[in-house]
Amino acid sequence: MNRLIIGATALLMIAACGQEAAEQPAQEPQELVSGLDLAGMDKSVQPGDDFFAYMNGAWVDSTEIPADKGRYGIFDTLRDESQEAVKAIIEESATGDFEKGTDEQKVGDMYKSFLDWETRDARGIAPLQPELDRIAAISDYDDLAVYFAETQRRNMDAPLGFGQVADFKDPNYYMIYVWQSGLGLPDREYYLKDDDKSGEIRTKYVEHIAKMFDLAGLEGGADAASTVMALETRLANEHMTKEDTRNWSANYNKVMLDELSTVMPNFNWDGFVAKAELQDVDGLVIFMTDYLRALDGIITDTDLDTWKTYLTWRALDQQASSLTREIDKQNFEFFGKTLSGTEEQRADWRRAVNTVNGTLGEVVGKVYVKQHFPPEAKERMLELVGNLVKAYEKSIKELDWMGEETKAEALDKLSKFTPKIGYPDVWRDYSALSIEADDYYGNLQRAAEAEYQRALNRQGGPVDRTEWGMTPQTVNAYYMPPLNEIVFPAAILQWPFFDMNADDAVNYGAIGAVIGHEIGHGFDDSGSTFDGNGVMRNWWTNEDRAEFEKRTAKLVEQYNAYKPFDDLAVNGEFTLGENIGDLGGISIGLLAYQMSLEGKEAPVIDGFTGIQRVFLGYAQVWRGKYRDETLRLQISTDPHSPAMYRANGAVRNVPEWYQAFNVQEEDALYLPPEERVKIW
């Protein structure tokens, strides 16, 4: 996150966990079908021993992870299909002769500029040279602070970052927040853990830095690598743990501009604020105050030559994929192969599509929606969201652990959820962005600057509630706490999440659980600190909050026990918000399905009752498998639990699952009733 726009940290997203299913069987619209891929099941497995394997085991056994992926499953399949659909849209622009400045010209030329390796190779690192010159020109620590501010508008990196999001205390207006940054490895633990695997990665990282310096024609690669590693390790020592970063209410610390020196007394805040063009804000929200206090000393305790070496590496690292094929390949060798275990780089056209999606995504999204998202799908989704909200309302009213005062606040929040389905009502304007067919590096720089300026232009005004944080062609969903909105892009609204031709049960277990998951983020350990108007405040009684934390602590313990490797377990504290979302999602999805029956008996389809199909539909969407390296990376850096634990971990807390599949005490997933967690 290197722009003045908030990125994924403020979006509590459903996992991009790499799950897949066999090709969907052909379905007649009038035929009542289950929506389940029966061929992917392994009925030799007892549901109570491994529900994930029961639903997905045959698929897992028969499927190989493609060479260009570290994980493979439902999400990856749908993303591949989305990329293929977008490619067809883009190629119409890439092969046409469109007037300069039109959307079609920009889309086509951005795509072509990525694929033009001949021009990129011929230019070498020349596009990066102006950045290297800026770094070389730093003459003192005041200049260093100014450079830190510059990086945000050019997709570079520095030891502190800043961004824009709706203010947690006044969500009608934007705030600028500051966070810790500056590491090349995925998380502080990669620098600090004392085990063989971490040590091996650190050794390969240092080798990678040296190779990148050499490929860029920069002198002293080996020495530079040692210098960078030493400074990044020092920064990592001061980084807040990922578990603590989730406590937004404790981390929110607004500091007036004229008081910033109380946090970092040696830092050139005047120069930083001026270069960032933030003079008109009343203050910055500091999220990692202790880190910034420590950074102040690290800055002045580190000589400028070391900082220049470090910043040269951060620039080269951040821009590796926009330079030459050789540099791009070495970047993949470390981050793709070493960290993720991926055997091959993704096809160039897929990477080019991702670039277009990331820079001009809503231009393509307009066409994508017309071609791939029927209006009746949006209508059905709005109906499902309404049913899930009703189910949450019923559940909250009937909670036996929550008092009436807190229930009233929870119901008020629930009543104010805003659903966004399919695509934005107002499309983004890209008229300020200039794109050239032969200047990939420059295109990315101009896109970053245009986004930065867009944020500056709206800073003083009210929050734009029409804006989306994802494009319609994105296979994902999210909840935004300060706006109290749940967002479902068009691309996720397809089988196995959403099937217009299937019986309702699987839809409630799949997309219903996704809806419930995202609503549930409003009531997880972080989201529950925001009220119905998006204001971060404590709306709980002390007794109810204590009981909530007692219940969530049990969920932490459950997930801590999942250990896919002898030396690595799931982090129940770090994944708590997503695990709460999953448990709420399937629980409320099931309740909504039961309410939809209106007392009628559900049909048996494919040998399964309606209740069974709800649970099977839930497990089906988590179908997938991982390379070991990718699984380790996810556990270390991703707040979502691995897919198999998302399926098994949630259902074993739901009483109806035991009844539906006759789960007994001797079964591996069995939890005694007193150990099962019910929150919402």
Distances (CA, A) of 318 to 125, 186, 366: 13, 13, 30
Q: Say how far apart CA 360 and CA 363 lie, in whole Å.
A: 6
Tell me which residue of 480, 457, 455 sits closest to 469, measured CA to CA. 480
Predicted confidence at residue 31, as pLDDT, reads: 64
pLDDT tens, 494-527? 999 999 888 899 999 999 999 999 999 999 999 9
Mean pLDDT of the chain: 94
> Average of pLDDT values for 428-434?
96
Closest CA to 86 of 462, 383, 361: 361
Residue 8, pLDDT score: 33
Angle subtended by helix axes 375-398 and 576-596, to nearest 10: 100
16 pLDDT band, cuts 50/70/90, is very low
Among candidates 150, 294, 316, which has minimal Cα distance to 218? 316
Q: Which of 187, 263, 197, 193 is nearest to 232 (CA)?
A: 187
Q: What is the mean pLDDT of residues 30-55?
A: 93
Residue 94: its pLDDT value, please? 85
Compute the average pLDDT of residues 593-601: 95
Check whether 14 has a pLDDT greater than 50: no
Q: pLDDT digits over 163-218, tens only?
A: 999 999 999 999 999 999 999 999 999 999 999 999 999 999 999 999 999 999 99
Tell me the CATH number for domain 125-322: 1.10.1380.10
Asked if domains 8-25+35-85+352-675 and 125-322 share a fold, the reply is no
Q: Which fold does the domain 8-25+35-85+352-675 belong to in CATH? A: Collagenase (Catalytic Domain) (3.40.390)
Q: In 10 A of CB 261, how many CB atoms?
A: 15
pLDDT at 2: 36
pLDDT per residue as tens digits for the range 261-318 = 999 999 999 999 999 999 999 999 999 999 999 999 999 999 999 999 999 999 999 9
Bigger pLDDT: 158 vs 14: 158
Region 61-84: what's the mean pLDDT? 97
* Of 15-19, 192-196, 570-574, 609-613, the least confident: 15-19
**pTM for the structure as a whole:** 0.93
pLDDT at 17: 32
The CA-based dihedral angle spanning residues 300, 302, 305, 307, taken in that order and rounded to the nearest 10 degrees: -80
pLDDT tens across 134-170, in order?
999 999 999 999 999 999 899 999 999 999 999 999 9
pLDDT at 74 over 90: yes
Count of other CB atoms within 10 angstroms of residue 632? 21
Per-domain boundaries in the chain: 8-25+35-85+352-675, 125-322
What is the mean predicted confidence (pLDDT) over 622-651? 97
636 token code pair: 């270390």
* Interval 344-387: pLDDT, tens: 999 999 999 999 999 999 999 999 999 999 999 999 999 999 99
pLDDT digits (tens, 9 = 90+) for 87-121: 999 998 888 889 999 999 999 999 999 999 999 99
